[in-house]
Homo-oligomer: A and B are copies of this chain.
């Protein structure tokens, strides 16, 4: 089996970086190739189309983050603290990225998903699928919190979806206003959504 290459991954990495910072539409195949150090021929050797590359890039990003997500949402951590740590983690990462590129980028799933949802069903479905996987982390944290009597959430799945949506709205607003402030404040909003009383909130 001759000749190995990491070009496929370089292409998905480049694509996600560019689409996250800019948008799906303004990220051209040429630009992706340039950033990955590839030529057009290589691109279309690995992917049938820009759409297919995007699906692969989103799945690759998920796989890259999964281990970290598993750690953040480990059942060994008190359930509300899992959420708290996750919010901190995202905040810190976005703040770090802002130093590099000057902008708060929000969540690529939402940006890309919202942009292509009515136009590209396979990308839309991919975003949808990954979105659901991420909600599962919220869901089990919420279920555990309910079981421990920290909150009242008889329908953890619905609560998780609602909280996840609220969080992404905050990330989107942060992107539009290019301001981390809201993200920092979201922790308190999350406690409201979950119905945690101040006294019960995660102590520092």
In the complex formed, the residue of B with least CB distance to A186 is B162
Using a CB-CB cutoff of 8 Å, which residues 93-144 of chain A contact chain B?
A: 101, 103, 105-106, 110-111, 113-119, 124, 127-128, 131
How many copies of this chain?
Answer: 2
Contact, CB under 8 Å: B169 / A185: no
Stretch of A43-51, A60-68, A78-86, A188-196 with 4 or more beta carbons under 8 angstroms from chain B? A188-196
A119 and B22 contact, Cβ closer than 8 Å, known pairs A110-B114, A114-B106, A170-B165: yes
Residues of B within 8 A of A116 (CB): 23
Asked if A119 and B169 sit within 8 Å, CB to CB, the answer is no
Number of interface residues of A (CB under 8 A): 48
Closest beta carbon of chain B to A116's beta carbon, Å = 7
Residues of B within 8 A of A119 (CB): 22-23, 26
Q: Which of B101, B161, B166 lies in contact with A165, CB distance below 8 A? A: B166
Contacts of A166 in B (CB 8 A): 165-166, 169-170, 189, 193
Would you call A162 and B176 a contact (CB within 8 A)? no
- Chain B nearest CB from A193 CB (Å) reads 5
Q: What residues of chain A have their CB less than 8 Å away from a CB belonging to chain B? A: 21-26, 101, 103, 105-106, 110-111, 113-119, 124, 127-128, 131, 158, 161-162, 164-173, 175-178, 182, 185-186, 189, 192-195
User: Could you name 15 residue pairs across A and B whose Cβ atoms are closer than 8 Å?
Assistant: A23-B118, A24-B25, A103-B117, A110-B114, A113-B172, A114-B115, A114-B176, A131-B173, A161-B182, A162-B182, A165-B172, A165-B173, A166-B166, A166-B189, A166-B193
